[in-house]
Structures are given as structure tokens and as C-alpha cells.
Structure 1
Amino acid sequence: MENYFKGKNVEEEMERHKIPIKDIPENFLWMQVKGGSKMTNLISHAIGILEDKGATAVVWSGAGVAIAKAISCAEIIKRQFSIQHQVTKLTHKSVEEYWEPKVDGLETIVVKRQIPVIHILLSIPEIPDISQLGYQTLQSKKFWEKVPSNNSKQQQSHKTKKPFKHKKVDPQE
């Protein structure tokens, strides 16, 4: 590859009508997360729209390195608004990398890759088709609520243990 330099990248663009989730409400907010997006900007924009009732559902989409950021944003919004209905779909998009020759007589190399993409629908109203692959609900399951434990005796016994005493060791001995 020392005889080539990286040229242009041609990426398949994500389009609103190609989101692979069934039964998305009409007035949904589509948040396209990029690798360089700032989470605070993304979250504050989504919060503003949801609080103003401009949308009842949000779709978070991210590709490649932006997948983790899209998941984090979706989880924050889901917990802040207690959104009960979620559909997650994994797909891919095509990218073509063009490598141009530095030396005459060589041809341009085209490398075709598939990059993973995630789409996460968070919907306040119930989704009509709950049997679709990737659907989950948090109804009656609040994972972040504190559950009282029955281990009060075990917890007390740990507190009453005597601390470990360190012995001074003389290196001369």
C-alpha cells in the first residue's frame, strides 16, 4: 500500500424512510448521531422537543463508532422520561474507499466495506406490533429502582468485624 494514498470515501446515506422499524409514529424525532457529535447537544435538543410535545417518539441512529454514543443517548432519554416502549434494530450500510496510485501504471483500488448501524425507537405511546423482533418494554420493570434487601443480618455482621491490625516488621530480624 506504500504506492497508494487514500482518496475519497463514498458512504450510503441514512434516510428517514429507510429506518427498518415498523409502526413508527408519524411525528417522530430522528436523531442521527455522528462520531463527533456532542452528547449534551443531542440530549438537550431531544429533551426540548419531547418537553414541548413536538414528538411522542425518538429514533436514535448511529453508525460505526457512533453506535455507543447513540445507545447512551437513548438510555439517558429513556430514563429521564420513563419511556416504556423500545424497538432496537441492527443493520449495516455500505462504504466504498478509493485508494489512488502514487505511481503511474497502477489502477485505483476500491475497497467495499459494510459498517454496522443501530436504530433505537423510544416511544411514549404503545407500539401497535409488540411482536416485532427487537421490541422491549419496561412496564412493571424499573431496573434502576432500589430494591429492599433481606440481608440485614449479613450487612450488620460485616460492620462489627474488628479491623485488621498491621504488625511492624523489622527488616533487621
Structure 2
Amino acid sequence: MENYYKGKNVEEELERDKIPIKDLPANFLWMQVKGGSKMNNLLSHASGIIEDKSSSSVVWTGAGVAIPKAISCAEILKRQFSIEHQVTKLTYKMVEEYWEPKIDGLEKIIVKRQIPVIHILQSIDEIQDVTQLGYQSLKGKKFWQICEISNNKSQQQSFKAKKPFKQKKSQIK
């Protein structure tokens, strides 16, 4: 590839009406997370919309390197507002990379790749189709709820006390 330089990239655009989740609410907030997006900005915007009751559902979308950030934003918002219903879908989008030759006589190279995309629908209101793949529900449980721990000895694990790390005399200076 030393005889080529990278030209343009052509990416398939994400569109609101092509989100692969069935029965999307009519009025939802669509948060498109990018690699350079600031989580604080994303979360403050989404929180403001939900607090104002302008929308009761949010769709987080992230592609490629933005997927972990989209997941983190969704999890933080879910805990902040105890959102009970969630649907997660994974898809792909096409990207074409064009490589231009540095030397005469070589042909242009086109590399086609698929980049993963995640869509996370979170809804305060109940979702119509709870049988679709990727559906999760809290079923009335609240996050950070303290669970009772059983004192049954069969459920308890025994841990052996570990000896502290000893350094060899040659390692001590």
C-alpha cells in the first residue's frame, strides 16, 4: 500500500426512518453519538428533554468507535430516570474507501467495509412488542435496589486468606 494514498470515504448515511426497531414511538428523541461527542453534552440534552416530558423515549445510535460511548450514555440515562423498557439492535453500515495510486499505471483501489452500528431504544412508557429480540425490562425493579443476602452456608463462598507479597532481598534497594 506504499504506492497508494487514501482518497475519499463514502459512508452510508444513518436515517431516522431506517432504525431497525419495530413499533418505534411517534415522538422519540434520536441521539446520534459520534466518536468525538462529549458525553456530558449528550446526557444533559437527553435529560432535559425527558425532564420536560417533551418525549418519553430516546434512541441512542452509535457506529464503530462510538458504540461504547452510546452504550454508556444509555446506561447512565437508564439509571438516572429508572427507565424500565429497552430494545437493543445491532446492524451494519457500508463504507467505501478510495485509494489513489502514487505511481502511473496503477489502478484506483476501492475497499468496501461494513461498520457495526448499535441502536438502543429506551422508553419510560411500555413498548408494544415485548417479544422482539433485544427487549429488556426492569419489571418494576429499581436500579441500585438493595437485595437481601442469605446467610445460608451453602450459598456462601469461603475465601482463603492470601499471604502478602514478599520481595526477594535482591529486589529491595
2:73 match? 73
Q: Deviations over 1:87-124 (max 9, x none)?
A: 00000000000101001111110000000000000011
Residue of structure 1 in register with 2:108 after alignment:
108
- The answer to whether structure 1 residue 127 and structure 2 residue 109 are counterparts is no
Q: RMSD of the alignment, in Å?
A: 2.5
For 1:99 and 1:144, the matched residues in 2 are separated by: 51
1:60 corresponds to 2:60: yes
CA contact (8 A) 2:82 2:143 kept: no
**Structure 2-normalised TM-score?**
0.86
CA deviations over 1:25-71 (Å, ceiling 9, x no partner): 11100000001100000000000111111111000000000000000
| SS of match in other structure, 2:144 | coil
CA contact (8 A) 2:85 2:135 kept: yes
Identity of aligned residues (%): 74
- Pair 1:13-2:17 in alignment: no
TM-score for both structures, normalised by structure 1 = 0.86
Structure-1 separation of matches of 2:79 and 2:23: 22
Provide runs of 4+ in structure 1 moved above 3 Å. Answer: 140-143, 150-153
Residue 30 of structure 1 corresponds to 30
Following TM superposition, by how much is the alpha carbon of 1:145 offset from its aligned partner in structure 2, in angstroms?
A: 1.7
Query: Matches of 2:131 and 2:148 in 1, distance apart?
Result: 33
Tell me the CA shift for residue 83 of structure 1.
Answer: 0.6
How far apart, in 2, do the equivalents of 1:83 and 1:54 lie? 15
Between structures 1 and 2, the one with greater helix share: 1
CA distance in 2, matches of 1:143, 1:46: 19
| 1:42 equivalent in structure 2 | 42
Amino acid at match of 2:78: K
Residues matched between the structures, number? 162
Question: C-alpha distance in 2, partners of 1:5/1:28?
Answer: 42
Work out the CA distance in 2 between the residues paired with 1:144 and 1:98.
49
Any gaps of 5 or more consecutive residues in structure 2?
164-168
Flag the structure with larger Rg: 1
